[in-house]
Chain A
Amino acid sequence: MPELSSNLLLVAFFLYLLSTILFAVAVTGKKFRNRQGHFQNRSGFLGYVASIIGFLFAMGYFITRWIAAGHAPVSNMFEYTAFLAIMMSFALVIIYTIYKSDILGLFTMPVVMLIIVYASMFPTEIQPLIPALQSYWLEIHVITTAIGQGILAISFAAGLIYLVRVIDFTKRNKRVRGVEFILYTILCFVAYISLSIGFNVAGYEAEFQYINENGQEAMMEYPMPAVVGPNEGQLLTDQAMEPFLSAPSIIESNDLNTVVWSMVSGLLLYWLIRLAIRKPIGAVLQPLTKSISPQAADELSYRAIAIGFPIFTLGGLIFAMIWAQIAWTRFWAWDPKEVWALITFLFYAAYLHLRLSRGWHGERSAWLCVIGFAIIMFNLIFVNLIIAGLHSYA
Chain B
Amino acid sequence: MEKVKCECGHVNPYGTVICESCGKPLQDEGKSLLNMRYEGAARRSQTYKRSVVDHIWNFFSSVKVGIWIIVLLLVASGFGTIFPQVEFIPPGENPAVFYENEYGTIGQLYYLLGFHNLYGSWWYMLLIAALGVSLVICSLDRVVPLYRALKKQRVTRHEGFLKRQRVFGTSRGLDHEGEIEKATKVLNEKKYNIYEENGNIVAEKGRFSRWGPYVNHIGLIIFLFGAMLRFFPTMYVDENIWVRDGEQVPVKGTDGQYYLYNENFEIELYDEDDELYQEALMREGSSVVETYRTSAVLLERSDDGIVGSEADYEKVKSHDIEVNDPLTHDGYSIYQVDYKLNELSEFSFRLQSVADDNGDVPDTEITVDLYDPEMSYDLGGGYVVEIEEYFPDYVFDEHNQEPTTATRIPDNPLIIFNVQTPSIPDGEKSVVGVQTNEPILGENEYRLELSGVEMNDVTALTVRLDRTLPLLIVGGFIFMVGLIQGSYWSHRRIWLQQKGEELWVAGHTNKNWQSLMKDFEAISSNTNIAMPIDQVEEDELEQERQYQRRRDEDQGSDVDA
Distance in Å: Cβ of B544 to nearest Cβ of chain A: 8
Are the C-beta atoms of B480 and A126 separated by less than 8 Å?
A: no
A302 to B515, CA, bound (A): 13
**Contacts of B119 on A, CB cut-off 8 Å?**
334
Take A131-B323, A250-B104 as given contacts and tell me if A353 and B540 are in contact as well, using a CB distance cutoff of 8 Å.
no
| Interface residue? A69 (CB, 8 A) | yes
User: Interface 1/0s, chain B 56-80, versus A by CB < 8 A?
Assistant: 0000000110110011011001101
Of A107-115, A189-197, A230-238, A338-346, the one with at least 4 CB within 8 A of chain B: A338-346
Instruction: Determine if B81 and A336 form an interchain contact, defined as CB atoms under 8 angstroms apart.
Output: yes
Is the CB of B108 closer than 8 A to any CB of chain A?
no
Q: Which of A42-50, A219-227, A266-274, A308-316 contacts B (4 or more CB under 8 A)?
A: A308-316
B70 and A334 contacting across the interface, CB-CB below 8 Å: no
Q: Give the secondary structure class of B's interface.
A: helix
Is B200 on the interface with A (CB-CB < 8 A)? no
Q: What residues on B are CB-neighbors of A69 within 8 Å? A: 276
Interface bits A99-139 vs B (CB < 8 Å: 1, else 0) = 10000000000000000000000010111101110110100
Contact A310 B333 (CB under 8 A): no
B280 pairs with A343, CB closer than 8 A: no
B536 — nearest CB in chain A belongs to which residue? A295
One of B180-188, B363-371, B418-426, B482-490 contacting the partner: B482-490
Q: Which residues of B contact A135 (CB under 8 A)?
A: 324
Interface members, chain A 266-308 (any B CB < 8 Å): 293-296, 299, 302-303, 306-307
Chain B residues 447 to 501 lying within 8 A of chain A, measured CB to CB, are 462, 464, 466, 469, 472, 476, 480, 483-484, 487-488
Q: Are B77 and A346 in contact (CB under 8 A)?
A: yes
The answer to whether B81 and A302 touch across the interface, beta carbons within 8 angstroms, is: no
A327 with B487: CB separation less than 8 A: no
B136 in the interface (beta carbon within 8 A)? no
Are B277 and A126 touching (Cβ within 8 A)? yes
Are B81 and A130 touching (Cβ within 8 A)? no
A350 touches B67 (CB 8 A): yes
State whether A310 touches B276 (Cβ < 8 A): no
Contact status B81-A383, CB under 8 Å: yes
Give the segment of B17-25, B145-153, B241-249, B281-289 that binds chain A. B281-289
In whole Å, how far is B468's beta carbon from the nearest beta carbon of chain A?
10
A388 to B469, CA, bound (A): 28
A299 — which chain B residues lie within 8 A by C-beta?
Answer: 511-514
Asked if A329 and B335 sit within 8 Å, CB to CB, the answer is yes
Question: What A residues does B277 contact at CB under 8 A?
Answer: 126-128
The residue that A329 contacts in the complex, of B73, B80, B337, with Cβ under 8 A, is: B337
Q: Which one of A98, A99, A358 lies within 8 Å of B64 (CB-CB)?
A: A358
Which residues of chain B are near A388, meaning CB under 8 Å? Answer: 84
Q: Are A307 and B78 in contact (CB under 8 A)?
A: no
Q: How distant is B341 from chain A, measured CB to nearest CB, in Å? A: 15
Evaluate whether A342 and B77 lie within 8 angstroms (CB atoms) in the complex, with A99-B514, A350-B71, A358-B63 already known: yes
Which parts of B509-526 form the interface with A (CB within 8 Å)?
Answer: 511-515
Contacts of A356 in B (CB 8 A): 213
Q: Which residues of B contact A342 (CB under 8 A)?
A: 77
Asked if B487 contacts A307 (CB within 8 A), the reply is: yes
Chain B residue nearest in CB terms to A132 = B323
Residues of B within 8 A of A98 (CB): 514-515
Of A294, A334, A349, which is in contact with the most chain B CB atoms at under 10 Å from its CB? A334
Q: How far is the CA of A18 from the CA of B423 in the complex (A)?
A: 97
How far in angstroms is the closest Cβ of chain A from B81? 4
Task: Give, as a whole number of angstroms, the nearest-CB distance from A64 to chain B.
Answer: 14
- List the A side residues contacting B276 at CB < 8 Å: 68-69, 126
**How far does the Cβ of A268 sit from chain B's closest Cβ, in whole Å?**
31
| B residues less than 8 Å from A303 (CB atoms) | 511-512
Does B291 reach chain A (CB closer than 8 Å)? yes
Q: Which residue of B lies closest to A135 (CB)?
A: B324
Complex Cα distance, B483 from A310, in Å, reads: 6
The answer for the CA separation of A352 and B183 in the assembled complex, in Å, is: 34
Given contact pairs A329-B333, A358-B63, A130 touches B289 in the complex (Cβ within 8 A):
yes
Across the interface, do A307 and B289 meet the contact criterion of CB distance under 8 Å?
no
B88 contacts chain A at the CB level, 8 A cutoff = yes
**Interface-central residue, A313, A353, A356, A357, by most chain B CB under 10 Å:** A357
Known: A330-B464, A350-B67, A353-B67. Is A132-B324 also a contact (CB below 8 A)? yes
Closest to A293 in B: B537
In the bound complex, do residue B462 and residue A329 qualify as a contact, i.e. CB atoms below 8 Å apart? yes
B88 & A389 in contact (Cβ 8 Å cutoff):
yes
State whether the Cβ of B326 lies closer than 8 Å to any Cβ in chain A: yes
Q: How far is the CB of B56 from chain A (nearest CB, A)?
A: 20
Specify which chain B residues have a CB less than 8 angstroms from the CB of A358 in the assembled complex: 63-64, 67
Contact B324 A327 (CB under 8 A): yes
Q: Report yes or no: A131 in contact with B322, Cβ–Cβ below 8 A.
A: yes
Q: Which residue of A lies closest to B81 (CB)?
A: A336
CA distance A128 to B64 in the complex (A): 48
A318 and B476 contact, CB distance less than 8 A: yes
Given A126-B276, A128-B270, A358-B67: A326 and B324 interface contact (C-beta under 8 Å): yes
Among A137, A310, A313, A339, the most chain B Cβ lie within 10 Å of the Cβ of A310
Residues of chain B with a CB closer than 8 A to A310's CB: 480, 483-484, 487-488
B443 contacts partner chain A, Cβ-Cβ < 8 Å: no
A-side contacts of B2, CB under 8 Å: none
Collect the chain B residues with CB atoms within 8 Å of residue A334's CB: 80, 85, 87, 119
Most chain A beta-carbon neighbours within 10 Å: one of B102, B323, B469, B512:
B323
The reply to whether the CB of B37 lies closer than 8 angstroms to some CB of chain A is yes
Q: Which residue of B is nearest A123, CB measured?
A: B283
Given the complex of chains A and B, what is the CA–CA distance between A34 and B71 in angstroms? 49
Q: How far is the CA of A346 from the CA of B69 in the complex (A)?
A: 10
Roughly how many angstroms separate A309 CA and B469 CA in the complex, as a whole number? 24
Say how far B27's CB is from chain A's closest CB, in angstroms.
18
Is the CB–CB distance between B77 and A326 below 8 Å?
no
A256 part of interface (Cβ distance < 8 Å):
no
Q: What is the CA–CA distance of A347 and B104 in the complex, to the nearest angstrom?
A: 31
A-B contact pairs, 28 of them (CB 8 A): A98-B515, A127-B277, A130-B289, A131-B290, A131-B291, A132-B323, A134-B291, A250-B104, A295-B534, A295-B537, A295-B540, A296-B514, A299-B512, A302-B511, A303-B511, A309-B487, A310-B487, A325-B466, A329-B333, A330-B464, A339-B77, A339-B80, A340-B78, A343-B74, A346-B74, A353-B67, A383-B81, A388-B84
- What 17 new A-B contacts, CB under 8 Å, besides A350-B71, A353-B70? A126-B276, A131-B290, A131-B324, A132-B323, A134-B291, A294-B540, A295-B534, A310-B480, A310-B483, A310-B487, A314-B480, A318-B476, A318-B480, A321-B472, A330-B466, A339-B78, A346-B77
For the complex of A and B, the 4 pairs showing the least CB-CB separation, nearest first, are A131-B323, A357-B63, A125-B279, A127-B280
Could you tell me which A residues sit within 8 Å of B by CB distance? 68-69, 98-99, 123, 125-128, 130-132, 134-135, 137, 213, 250, 293-296, 299, 302-303, 306-307, 309-310, 313-314, 318, 321, 325-327, 329-331, 334-336, 339-340, 342-343, 346-347, 349-350, 353-354, 356-358, 383, 387-389
- The residues of B with any CB-CB pair to A shorter than 8 Å are 37, 63-64, 66-67, 70-71, 73-74, 77-78, 80-81, 84-85, 87-88, 102-104, 119, 213, 238, 270, 276-277, 279-281, 283, 288-292, 322-324, 326, 333, 335, 337, 462, 464, 466, 469, 472, 476, 480, 483-484, 487-488, 511-515, 534, 536-537, 540-541
